[in-house]
Amino acid sequence: MPAEQYQPRTLPQVVAAAARTYGERLAITDGAVRLSYAELDAARQRSAQAFLAAGLGKGDRVAIWAPNMYQWIIAAIGAQSVGGVLVPLNTRLKGAEAAYILNASGARLLFTVGDFLGVSYPEQLRGQALPALEQLVLLSGEAPGTVAWDSFLAAGDTVPASEVAQRAAALGPDDTLDILFTSGTTGKPKGVITCHGQNIRTFETWSATVGLRSDDNYLIINPFFHSFGYKAGWLAAIIRGAHMLPVKSFDLDEVLATIPRERISMIPGPPTIYQSLLAHPRRGDHDLSSLRLAVTGAAPVPVALVQQMREELGFEVVVTAYGLTETCGVVSICRADDSAERISHTSGRAMDGVEMKCVDAAGEPVAVGEPGEIWCRGFNVMRGYLDDPQETALAITAEGWLKTGDVGVMDADGYVRITDRIKDMFIVGGFNCYPAEIENSLCSMPGVARAAVIGVPDERLGEVARAYIVPASGATLDETAVIDWCRANIANYKVPRSVRFLEAFPLNAGGKVLKTELRQLAQEEGL
């Protein structure tokens, strides 16, 4: 649709429109809970009343630290309907990491669970200084000093529904919808500010391009704390009227059982998910004929995998995409009729309404087929980094171009192939890892003088962290001790899978670690 004809919308407008259009059609199935679109909208309004009863003001931040579950969605859209700003927290974070984001965002309310995979999130926060946090609400489970989700909702029952309608009507497309935190090369997570209108337009475009339909049964495996599970997940599903089936934690046997039971047609995720399905010894025992649409990315996709997904898993459509948190999650997308080679070797071309180019160090476009830093410009680009105008100015040019930090090669048709990363970020099973963040943590470990981290190839996860450490004088460290310490102090996908010890790091004239030489050491080991 031409930009001049596009009508921007807010989140409450989208959910209300879905209820009017799809009514009694199933919106969410989560275990025994099944909600229609009409019931989802009613739940949104009751949730919004509860947020008003809690004193939530326009622009106040609401954090959610929980696995994929229907209450997550209802809490998010309730807060967002009355001007609350969503701050999702990665379920793999440790207490100190979560506390940093809670404090940086100034979140007044935190929604979490009593326990997930043996971890008590309220207990993780015990002892952390959280001066802005007023209330901790449990979406499920129990923990001392918390409010139950049902009690939180009940407190809003005396708030007139008209107040929700007034607050929702006062929202505009340029009001902030969410702040997602992403790690930077400084090692400190940065809050990315995006708005109602740009997110909704991005995923109206995304869902139309990939072909998500209202009759799709969408198994949302990607976590809601990530734009893939949140924005390309439940937000896109609501926009299209699809049936959402959230997955708390990935269990291959359960996924295989769910596909025929619920007639799953859409499964997104990194290539490892599809590789796992293909490799399952009892795959043939399950009826997978309902599978129709797969959207993948975050790691290289072999041509053979695309072909197997089509021929053996039965997907009619397999597409890849590329994006960043700073672009509402999407920059480029393959099209449904692209060849297996193009889907494998590129990350698509810019989505409609967005520009993309590859430039040299001076910001000048490079020739077709030549590598350059990927820049993009359009409605999807963030408003900026939270409380960090300096980093925002470094990331976005005066002309509105976002510098992605990724190096790519663009062909004559505008399809881009990601070839490298200007920053040292690497991807572990679909999660971005930033060496500086891991290095900062390692340097707080007793006995560590210096630490450097690189990504090394891994057959299952694509890449994993390897730590190089210079021990402090007199310290005695071994690989097991370092890995065990990391498991206790940082999210598990960041934990190095291997550790090497050096007497000194190779340095340049400015004292910076020469990671090219560390990568060479890894290659000499056959990695």
Which tens digits make up the pLDDT trace of 184-238?
445 688 999 999 999 999 999 999 999 999 999 999 999 999 999 999 999 999 9
Which tens digits make up the pLDDT trace of 236-257?
999 999 999 999 998 999 999 9
Sign of CA dihedral 246, 317, 270, 180: negative
**Lowest mean pLDDT segment, chosen from 121-130, 448-457, 496-505:** 448-457
**Lowest mean pLDDT segment, chosen from 59-63, 214-218, 274-278:** 274-278
pTM for the whole structure: 0.85
Q: Which residues contact 6 (CB under 8 A, 6 or more apart)?
A: 201
Average the pLDDT over 447-461 and give the result: 90
pLDDT, greater one: 300 or 291: 291
Contact 333, 210 (CB under 8 A): yes
β-strand partners of 427 = 432
What is the dihedral angle through the alpha carbons of 458, 461, 463, 466, rounded to the nearest 10 degrees?
Answer: -70
Q: What is the SS3 assignment for 415?
A: coil
What are φ and ψ of residue 309, in 5° steps?
A: -60, -35
Percent of the chain residues topping a pLDDT of 70 = 96
- 312: nearest Cα among 279, 336, 343, 341: 279
- 212: nearest Cα among 229, 231, 236: 236
Average the pLDDT over 398-422 and give the result: 89
User: Does 120 have pLDDT greater than 50?
Assistant: yes
Q: Give me the domains of the chain, ranges plus CATH numbers.
A: 3-196+224-231 (3.40.50.980), 250-374+394-423 (3.40.50.12780), 426-524 (3.30.300.30)
- 429: nearest Cα among 346, 493, 489, 498: 493
